[in-house]
Amino acid sequence: MSHRKLFLLPGDGIGPEITAELEKVIAFMNTKADAGFEIEKGLVGGSAYDAHGVAISDDDMARAMAADAVILAAVGGPKWDSVPYDVRPEAGLLRLRKDMQLFANLRPAICYSALAASSSLKPELVEGLDILIVRELTGGVYFGEPKEVIDLENGQQRAIDTQVYDTYEIERIAAVAFELARTRDNRVCSMDKRNVMKSGLFWNQVVNRVHDEKYKDVTLSHMLADAGGMQLVRAPKQFDVIVTDNLFGDLLSDVAAMLTGSLGMLPSASLGAEDPATGKRKAMYEPVHGSAPDIAGQGIANPLAMIASFAMCLRYSFNMIKEAEALDAAIAQVLEDGLRTGDIMAEGCRKVGTAAMGDAVVDAFAGKLAA
């Protein structure tokens, strides 16, 4: 039996409730499929602040670094709104991303047929949608220096952010996008603003070179990021993998997210560089939604984004493709069967709580794995 080390960070609000449902899935895989997952748990966000006075302790950070994959639920809540800035709940997330050097953020936008009617677009535009946005996460205008407001001494001030990308940053994110495309429909669309930005032109050139050197088998296209935003809401199914920088990725992945109808359904992954010795990447998986303090402790949160994040973990950290596909299919199945938590409730469906939804996924997963 192989040992696969998972580090779970339930965090705050609904985090522990949805993590409990994920643990049912993991326990099932260990007992019925001999998957050999070892679970350690730690604290992040407000719960870490309450226990240790920081958003993540050094000890938990070390355990995150040593794990094969980190799975985080959500952080934050009104209880910690007035804690000092550097120990606010989000600081835990930022430290994990920074110390683990997670430069590639993967946000799939999948529209389950059973939920197509909840999208703001016409069902036929989104039904069966399956696209993946690969966003550069550690560079670009959010981090570039100088980043300041200066006094021009003429009664005016000037605010400056700097968009900056080095060759290696574009090379490595492009490589991730091409490699992921090979596991899907083998198409990448790179989005930039090369018509008005030097960094956009450079992005475009480096992506083309990486493609020519190593990934000729993948179909590469380019789009200006503004046109890409339009195309995402006009005809989203035309895309397979979209690769873009930190700023455009932030905007475009939120647009793509809303095509799918519900926040409680959206998983994400953040990956670091491949270790040449082991071939493994540092990785963290988390639902896109927050800690939903308005419904915490009521047993009504939707655990599906959390479970779908683990399906990404099976795929990208452990190469357990059959199991990942079965888990995704199990989520689709419970929706087809008409089970809904409150956030995705629709007429004619059966409303269930967090635990019943988790149990139903485990049952459906067992069926899919056996099939």
The question of whether 294 is a catalytic residue gets the answer: no
The tokens of 206 are what?
A: 């480096």
Stretch of 110-118, 216-224, 283-291, 363-371 lying at the interface with ligand NAD (CB under 6 A): 283-291
- Measured distance CA(157)–CA(134) in Å, rounded: 36
Comparing CB distances to ligand NAD, the nearer of 104 and 225 is 104
- Of the pair 128, 338, the CB lying nearest ligand NAD is at 338
Burial (CB < 10 A; 0-12, 13-18, 19+), residue 142, is: middle
Least CB distance to ligand NAD at residue 331 (A): 13
Q: Which residues sit opposite 6 in a β-bridge?
A: 39, 69
* String of contacts with ligand NAD for each residue 303-342, x by CB under 6 A: --x-----------------------------------x-
Q: Which two tokens stand for residue 195?
A: 């018509």
Q: Select which of 99, 130, 185, 226 is catalytic.
A: 226
Which residues have a Cβ under 8 Å from the Cβ of 176 and sit 6 or more positions away?
104, 134, 243, 271
Can residue 353 be called a binding residue for ligand NAD (CB under 6 A)?
no
For ligand NAD, the binding residue among 16, 108, 228, 264 (CB under 6 A) is 264
Output the smallest distance, CB 353 to ligand NAD, in A.
11
Phi, psi of 338, rounded to the nearest 5 degrees: 90, 10
Stretch in the footprint of ligand NAD (CB under 6 A) among 129-137, 152-160, 211-219, 297-305: 297-305
Residue 71 found at the interface with ligand NAD (CB under 6 A): no
Q: Which is nearer to ligand NAD, 89 or 236 (by Cβ)?
A: 89
Of all residues in the chain, what percent are helix, strand and coil, respectively (each to 5)? 50, 20, 30
User: Least Å distance between CB 366 and ligand NAD?
Assistant: 23
The rounded Cα 345 to chain-centroid distance in angstroms is 24
Number of residues forming the site for ligand NAD (CB under 6 A): 21
Is 50 among the residues that bind ligand NAD (CB under 6 A)?
no
Tell me which stretch binds ligand NAD (CB under 6 A): 23-31, 271-279, 290-298, 330-338. Answer: 290-298
For 353, other C-beta atoms within 10 Å of its C-beta total 17
Which is the catalytic residue, given 60, 193, 215, 240? 193
Distance between CA 371 and CA 365 in Å, rounded? Answer: 10
DSSP output for 166-189: -HHHHHHHHHHHHHHHHTTTSEEE
Q: Confirm or reject binding of residue 358 to ligand NAD (CB under 6 A).
A: no
> Judged by CB under 6 A, which of 38, 58, 294, 336 binds ligand NAD?
294
Q: Look up 142 and say whether it is catalytic.
A: yes
Using the rule CB under 6 A, is 364 a contact of ligand NAD? no
- What are residue 344's phi and psi, to 5 degrees? -120, 15
Q: By three-state DSSP, how is residue 281 classified? A: strand
Least CB distance from residue 264 to ligand NAD, whole Å? 4
Binding flag, residue 291, ligand NAD (CB under 6 A): yes
CA-wise closest residue to 83 among 39, 107, 50:
50
Closest distance of CB 52 from ligand NAD, Å: 18
CB contact set of 16 (below 8 Å; sequence gap of 6+): 10, 73
| Residue 244 makes contact with ligand NAD by CB under 6 A | no
Nearer to ligand NAD, 26 or 74 (CB): 74
Distance of closest approach, residue 50 Cβ to ligand NAD, in angstroms: 15
One of 249, 272, 290, 358 touching ligand NAD (CB under 6 A) = 290
Residues in Cβ contact with 1 at an 8 Å cutoff, skipping those fewer than 6 apart = 34, 36
Residue 5 annotated to the active site: no
In the complex, minimum distance from the CB of residue 268 to ligand NAD, in angstroms, rounded to a whole number: 9
Cis amide bond preceding 146, omega within 30:
yes
DSSP states along 131-148: EEEEEE-SSGGGT-S--E
Please, which residues have CB within 8 angstroms of residue 198's CB and are 6 or more apart in sequence? none
Cis peptide upstream of residue 108 (ω within 30 degrees of 0): no
Catalytic positions, please?
142, 193, 226, 250, 254
For ligand NAD, the binding residues (CB under 6 A) are 14, 74-77, 93, 263-264, 286, 289-295, 301-302, 305, 341, 343
